[in-house]
Structure formats: C-alpha cells, structure tokens
C-alpha cells in the first residue's frame, strides 16, 4: 500500500473509487481485496475504500499494489458504511462491492468503458453464485437472477440494481444524498436508492459483462433469517416511498419466481429449489408484517 498516493488519473474522464463495507468477515475480505488488486484497470486510476462497520476485531488490511484506505465507524449497517466510504472518495465514479464478493479481473475496465459513453448512468453488473454446491446460496442468488430478468426488459426498463455490484457517478450520488441510513441492515436500501434515482429521470443500465462472484455461505437458518431481514427492509422501503398498496406483485410474478428453478436446474434439485424459494418468500412476508407490527406498537 502506498503511503502517500497521488491523485487518481482519469482515463476518458473516468476514475473509480471502490467502496467495500465490511463486518467480521476477515477471510472473505482478504479474497475480495486480492481480486481488487488483480484488476486490469490502471492502478493509478482507481482506489479502494474499506469501511470497517464496527466489527468485533478492528480491520488491519493491506494488499500489495493496491491503493487502499481503511475507515472505521461504530456499527451502523452497510448503508452508513457505504456513505462513509463515498464521502472520502476521490474518483469521478463510485463502485460498490461487498466483502464476501470477488470481482473478475475486467470488472473495473468494463464499468469504465461504459461510463466513458454513459457518464451519468447507474450501472449494475451480473453477480454469480460462487458456492454452487450450497443449495441455499444457489436459491438466494436464483431469486436475484429472476428479479433482474423480470425487471430489466424493454417494457420495464429496469427497476433496481443490487448494491454488491453497483456503480454510479459520484456527483449524482452526493446530490441524491447517498444511501438512506434509516435502513440499519442489509435489505432494500439499494432498492430505495434506485427508486430515488429513477424519480429523477436518470438512466439505469444492467451491464451483465461486469461480473462479480458472491460467496455467501448459508445454512437453512441463515437462509430464512436472510429473507426475513429482506422483508423487514421491504416494509421500510414501502413506508418511505408511501407505496404500501404496492406490496404485492401480480400473481404471475410469483408463479414465474417459483417456476424459475425448473428452468435452471435438473430434477430433483430443481424441486428442492422450488420449495426453498417458496420458504424464502414466506420468510420475507413474515419479516414484512413483523416490521409493520413493530411500527404500529
């Protein structure tokens, strides 16, 4: 790590600040930083801002050849951690990745190339499950894949992008006010940011060539807990946007979601994934109504 790095050098008007929020995942974080050090993008054109979200052990991280700065906050959740990283960024554009993800070597090059022609757009890449033997991790990613296939069509022209593979111009992120820190946990804070972005009429593009790999190890309890938290975040999203009447999608959306594993996997695993997808949706609904009950109290 350079002690006093100079300013970032923009190519075609683009330099990048990569923000990585982290909370007690030291092994995954090492893999993430190694993948960022291995980017084919020029090293003087990007930096990495690692934000320790008040984990039990303070992060002491370095990676040879990587322009890396470490920041720390009291535990406040990933939305606040991303905002803290963005507030110290030097790049013309921000890129967000999670600490349990690894970026393919051309990730930043692919983002920068698209920004050179669409400098004011929000971009979201394709996330791959890096634990294919885990049925829970596979189903969790399969649900996201279905949402992307459903929303990013010519008729719907995009609706949201997930924050573990997201990039956008820093100036517009600041103008928008960043992530809503009222979301204390991972779940719908990226959806809410995208909603505000779209309300401004700003462009949003899905860029499947910008790929990261997600290694989120889950067991059944962790899987259901994850989707319960998503449901809690979804309640806040609807409360903030005053869209409570739009909680449910058309019935065809849910039928398509349940059928999605049958198009991706061979039996009998496909039917197992159908069952887990149904359990995930039930857990999400439970989280939603739990948060609604808490608010009423």
Structure tokens at 198: 């779209």
Residue range 129-140, pLDDT digits in tens: 999 999 999 999
Whether the CB-CB separation of 85 and 152 falls below 8 Å is answered with no
For residue 57, being part of any structural domain is answered with yes
37's CB contacts (< 8 A; 6+ apart) are 63, 64, 65, 66
For residue 229, being part of any structural domain is answered with no
For residue 254, being part of any structural domain is answered with no
pLDDT at residue 72 tops 80? yes
Alpha-carbon Rg for the chain in angstroms: 19
273 against 155, higher pLDDT:
273
For residue 42, being part of any structural domain is answered with yes
Q: What is the rounded average pLDDT for all residues in the chain?
A: 88
For residue 241, being part of any structural domain is answered with no
For residue 14, being part of any structural domain is answered with yes
User: What are the distances in angstroms from CA 166 to CA 30, 59, 108?
Assistant: 20, 23, 11
Split into its structural domains, the chain has a count of: 1
CB atoms within 10 A of CB 49: 25
pLDDT at residue 57 tops 90? no
Whether the CB-CB separation of 204 and 161 falls below 8 Å is answered with yes
> Looking at residue 133, what is its pLDDT?
92
Whether the CB-CB separation of 81 and 158 falls below 8 Å is answered with no
pLDDT at residue 2 tops 50? no
Residue range 254-284, pLDDT digits in tens: 777 877 777 776 667 888 888 899 999 999 9
For residue 287, being part of any structural domain is answered with no
For residue 100, being part of any structural domain is answered with yes
CATH of the domain at 30: 3.90.550.10
Q: Which domain holds residue 79?
A: 1-124+159-215
Find the helix or strand (DSSP H, E) in which 278 lies.
helix 269-296
> Looking at residue 259, what is its pLDDT?
79
């Amino acid at each position: 790590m350079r002690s006093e790095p100079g300013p970032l050098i923009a190519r075609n008007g683009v330099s990048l600040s990569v923000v990585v929020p982290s909370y007690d995942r030291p092994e995954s974080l090492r893999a993430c930083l190694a993948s960022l050090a291995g980017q084919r993008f020029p090293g003087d054109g990007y930096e990495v801002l690692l934000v320790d979200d008040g984990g039990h052990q303070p992060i002491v991280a370095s990676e040879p050849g990587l322009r890396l700065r470490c920041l720390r906050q009291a535990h406040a959740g990933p939305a606040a951690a991303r905002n803290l990283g963005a507030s110290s960024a030097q790049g013309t554009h921000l890129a967000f990745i999670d600490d349990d993800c690894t970026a393919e070597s051309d990730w930043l090059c692919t983002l920068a190339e698209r920004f050179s022609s669409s400098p004011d757009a929000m971009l979201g890449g394709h996330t791959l499950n890096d634990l294919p033997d885990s049925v829970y991790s596979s189903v969790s990613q399969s649900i996201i894949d279905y949402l992307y296939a459903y929303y990013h069509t010519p008729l719907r022209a995009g609706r949201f992008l997930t924050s573990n593979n997201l990039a956008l111009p820093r100036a517009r992120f600041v103008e928008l006010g960043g992530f809503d820190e009222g979301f204390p946990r991972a779940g719908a804070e990226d959806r809410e940011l995208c909603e505000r972005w779209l309300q401004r009429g700003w462009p949003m593009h899905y860029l499947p060539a910008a790929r990261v790999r997600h290694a989120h190890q889950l067991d059944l309890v962790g899987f259901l807990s994850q989707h319960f938290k998503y449901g809690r975040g979804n309640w806040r999203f609807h409360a903030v946007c005053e869209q409570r009447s739009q909680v449910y999608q058309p019935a065809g959306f849910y039928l398509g979601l349940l059928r999605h594993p049958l198009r991706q996997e061979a039996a009998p695993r496909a039917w197992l994934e159908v069952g887990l997808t149904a359990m995930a949706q039930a857990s999400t609904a439970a989280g939603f109504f739990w948060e609604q009950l808490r608010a009423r109290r």
